[in-house]
Amino acid sequence: MQSPESKNSEKTPAASASSASARTTTHNDAKSSPILHIFGRSVSKTDLFKLLGLLAFIVITVGVAWALWPLLSELFQEGGTEKMIDKVRSAGPWGVLILLAFQLLQIIVAFIPGEVVQVSAGILYGPWGGSAIILLGCLISSWIIYQIVHRLGQPFVEDMVPTKYLEKFQAFEESGRLDVMVFILFLIPAMPKDTFTYLVPLTKMPLKRYLVITTVARTPGVVVSTLAASGLAEGNIAASVAIFAVVAVLAVLAIVFREKLMGLGGRFGKKD
């Protein structure tokens, strides 16, 4: 027969494990317990943080758009691009910041035509200065979107952009060829890059790689647009028209065959 002490000693590990498990469960429950009741609903700390983050994003975006509205409203009028160029030029050194703000809004909100901003940058600051401003705006806005998406998650993205291509990016990631496909899609003209900018952060691509790949892939298109615009400003009409014509043809082809390009990427992404 075993002594009572022996029996107690045999039970002690199990009892300790049970006690530890109970403490862990209690700790986890405490972490996930709701902290507020809003309109009769319990809201956890995580959900509250996401809600506040979304509200802050909306307030900041609306605030910037409101500050730039005198210029933004003219973009949609006849001769709007020329008026915007004149006002940015008259702003002197502040014109760089105004154009940078336009580029940030163009990617984050996506209601400003990207071509207008790029053409304006090329005319005002030449192909290289204009490209630098546009690419800096792309880099900053991509960083902002990546951080926001990682904190607010897929529901936020679904409210901001169409997510019909999300499964494609998930398939690219599973195949191990996400980097290649992201580079190709950001390189081709007329692809919905602003939408992709929100979708890629939902994958496991690291921030630094995301910024490098998307910025490098955007560079040829940005340089070509600002180069053609700069040519117009300098009187090289024929060369600029030829460049715009080539870009337009590529853009039309990309729009017509967009779904096939995404499908081709899916087939390319499958490993044997």
| Residues 29-83: tens digit of each pLDDT | 444 444 555 545 555 656 555 556 556 656 766 666 676 666 656 655 666 667 7
Residue 19 phi, psi (nearest 5): -65, -40
User: Helices 94-108 & 114-152, crossing angle to 10 degrees?
Assistant: 60
| 102 touches 65 (CB < 8 A) | no
Residue ranges of the chain with per-residue pLDDT less than 50: 1, 4-34, 39, 268-272
Neighbour count for residue 152 (Cβ, 10 Å): 18
pLDDT of residue 194: 85
d(C-alpha 167, C-alpha 154), whole Å: 12
pLDDT of residue 16: 45
pLDDT of residue 58: 63
Ranges of beta strands (E only) in the chain are 36-38, 41-43
Quote the pTM value: 0.67
What would the two tokens of residue 69 be? 């509205």
| 222 touches 135 (CB < 8 A) | yes
Neighbour count for residue 85 (Cβ, 10 Å): 20
| 57 touches 148 (CB < 8 A) | yes
pLDDT of residue 177: 84
pLDDT of residue 32: 45
pLDDT of residue 104: 86
pLDDT of residue 218: 93
pLDDT of residue 143: 93
d(C-alpha 193, C-alpha 210), whole Å: 13
pLDDT of residue 215: 94
Neighbour count for residue 238 (Cβ, 10 Å): 9
pLDDT of residue 116: 77
Mean pLDDT of the chain: 74
pLDDT of residue 7: 45
